[in-house]
Amino acid sequence: MAVDLSGQLAVVTGGTRGVGLAIAQALQAAGADVRTFSRSGGVDVADPEAVESAVTGLGPVDLLVNNAGTFDAIGPVWSADPDAWHGDLQTSVLGAFHCSRALLPGMIERGRGRIVNVSSGAATRPYPYGSGYAAGKAALLSFTETLAAETQEHGVAVFAITPGFVWTAMTERLRDASGPAPDISGADPVEPERAGELVLRLASGEADALSGRFIHVRDDLDELLSR
């Protein structure tokens, strides 16, 4: 199904590479005006002042995709670097909080808007040697459920998705790690474009009934909606 997002303004965090780039490109191809927030572009989403500065004068945002994430703390908890561990947690959770807090007032005022939080399968199972990343993605699921409940009466839909295992610079670091690292030997890679396709369908509004849910790119969205 072709999705037309002409006239919509979308913000994608971490949108300059990997899964975020694929999502941004899919939204642009559908006609959306896409703005990307990234550290390389001068916006650290874990910094509330940087986020507030980035949204100033941006105009009414229809879609926010909280995709930014880091995976710098690789290894057992007892030898983890605290700054790296905190950073992994903060980018996922504080980044989503700061961006949502900055853009939700406009969505609520207009009575419409959508937020997509990019989580991970690591949030729902033991994830040895990646505890900071997994904890951040798990917290993002709880944040999604709560935010969906808070915004339901205001016409805003909030989703969490997982793009599956995608080969990116981040996952290549796991493969090349010199010490203990999450085991990715049995991973079944997914193309990053699948995440873009899913976000497009969520952005269209057809799946608003699934607000608050955690959706995998390999899920059958039509079947989920039928239930």
Residue 217 — φ and ψ, nearest 5°?
Answer: -60, -20
Which one, of 95, 120, 214, lies nearest residue 174 by Cα? 120
Residue 202 corresponds to which tokens in the numbers above? 């969520």
Task: Say which amino acid occupies 177.
Answer: A
State the residue for tokens 């290894």: 75
- Tell me, rounded to whole angstroms, the distance of Cα 43 from its chain centroid: 16
Cβ-proximal residues to 22 (8 Å cutoff; 6+ apart), any chain: 192, 193, 195, 196
- How far apart CA 160 and CA 143 sit, in angstroms, is 9
Is residue 134 within 8 A of residue 120, CB to CB? The reply is yes
Residue 215 — φ and ψ, nearest 5°?
Answer: -120, 130
Bridge partners, 63 (sequence order): 10, 114
Cβ-proximal residues to 17 (8 Å cutoff; 6+ apart), any chain: 168, 169
**Would you call 129 a catalytic residue per the annotation?**
no
- Which of 37, 127, 133, 159 is labelled catalytic? 133
Which one, of 115, 102, 109, 99, lies nearest residue 207 by Cα? 115
Active site residues: 133
